[in-house]
Chain A
Amino acid sequence: MTHQSETVHYAVSVVGKDRPGIVAAITEGLFNLGCNIADSSCTMLAGEFAMILIVSLKKPFSKARLIEELKPVCDRIGMSLGVRTLHPDEIARQESDGEICMISVYGADQPGIVYRVTRELAARSVNITDLNTKLIGTEEEPVYVLMLEVALPDGVTAEAVEQTLVALKKELDVEIGVRVITPVAF
């Protein structure tokens, strides 16, 4: 671990058709640069594999150098590449004292489910920390599932959040449940 002031951070995103070897190819490129992978999340969405990585490198280092190394790799395996330089203020983890909740929303597929739900949450300063959606069911009866992990503002209860979503639940005719999943440290 090197001191933060001696490192530069980038957000790297890589997306493309899934197949074995993507992570190995990308991380080989990063390894060759002497790059650290800090937080990352990689998942398969439909047939696409999507990687988001926060990486750090010892200064001096340029975004151009990172792209120069990764672009040929991405081209070879048919992936798109995005790189953004992070400001030191962006790297600090946001900690909340509020409850962590899982919000599950599911019902007949219709336009606007994600927008309508997240608009209500945003209006109450509920911070989404993770979001997953999936289209399930049959072609005749498509069902939409939206799962959100959220951090509530300090002092706001899960019941209060559930209450604010009652009207929306009726209007969209979907199920909405809120439950506390705040981790317990043993």
Chain B
Amino acid sequence: MPILPILKYPHPILKKLCHRVEKIDQSIHGLIQDLMDTMHDGPGSVGVAAPQIGVTLRVCVVDVSKNRHGKENNHGLLRMINPEITSRSGSATMREGCMSVPDYTGDVDRATNITVRFTTPDEAEHAIDASGFEAVAIQHEMDHLDGVLFLDRVTSIKTGLFRRKNY
């Protein structure tokens, strides 16, 4: 099971819209295994999306259970095929970074509560309510499936705490 290199921007695949998976066959099982192996290899990695390893399919894995922000509130290992967010509420800002955009971090606003529907590798339709850090991780990974990087969502430069007054 190969651990694959994480593609880094400006690799063009990272800005592509990924295709839906139409049939869950051996290649999809292999892809999910590769994503898991690659995630577990990354130091502190909590998720990997297929385009990050060069595959333009709507598949990602998320596991925040070992992260200090997520260990209290999570669904363990999530293997998501064709995930869709069906509801979102709340908003919180978190400083994010991404293995595909090294050496840069920025504040990103994301929903704090989401319902996400997806197909599991054994072809079951599944829906979960995720919140907090896990919800952020899922939204970050799902953005990759739409060719969206956190850089596209940064809401402030540095602190960004001040709305400038006119003098």
Residues of A in contact with B (beta carbons under 8 Å apart): 41, 44, 46-47, 100, 102, 130, 132, 134, 136, 145, 147, 149, 181-186
Q: Flag if B167 contacts A183 (CB, 8 Å).
A: no
Please report B residues at the A interface, Cβ cutoff 8 Å.
44-47, 67, 69, 94-99, 105, 133, 136-137, 140-141, 150, 158-159, 161-162, 164-165, 167
The reply to whether B159 and A130 contact each other, CB–CB distance below 8 Å, is yes
What are some 16 contacts across the A-B interface (CB < 8 A)?
A46-B167, A130-B158, A132-B161, A132-B162, A145-B162, A147-B159, A182-B95, A183-B96, A184-B96, A184-B136, A185-B44, A185-B96, A185-B98, A185-B99, A186-B97, A186-B99
Output the nearest chain B residue to A95 by Cβ-Cβ distance: B103
**CB of A146 to closest CB in B, whole Å:** 11
Cα of A17 to Cα of B96 in the assembled complex, Å: 34
Contact assessment for B99 and A149 in the assembled complex, using a CB-CB cutoff below 8 Å: no
> Interface majority SS on A: helix, strand, loop or mixed?
strand
**Interface contact B167-A132, CB-CB below 8 Å:** no
In this complex, what residue of B is CB-closest to A186? B140
Q: Are B97 and A184 in contact (CB under 8 A)?
A: yes
- Nearest CB to that of B137 among chain A residues? A186
CA gap between A47 and B167 in the complex, in Å: 6
Residue of B nearest to A133 (CB): B162
Give the residue of B44, B136, B161, B167 whose beta carbon is less than 8 angstroms from that of A147. B161
Which residues does chain B contribute within 8 Å of A147, judged by CB atoms?
Answer: 159, 161-162
Q: For A145, list chain B residues within 8 Å (CB).
A: 162
| Given pairs A184-B96, A186-B97, 7 additional interface contacts (CB within 8 A) | A100-B95, A181-B95, A183-B95, A184-B136, A185-B105, A186-B47, A186-B99
Residues of B within 8 A of A134 (CB): 162
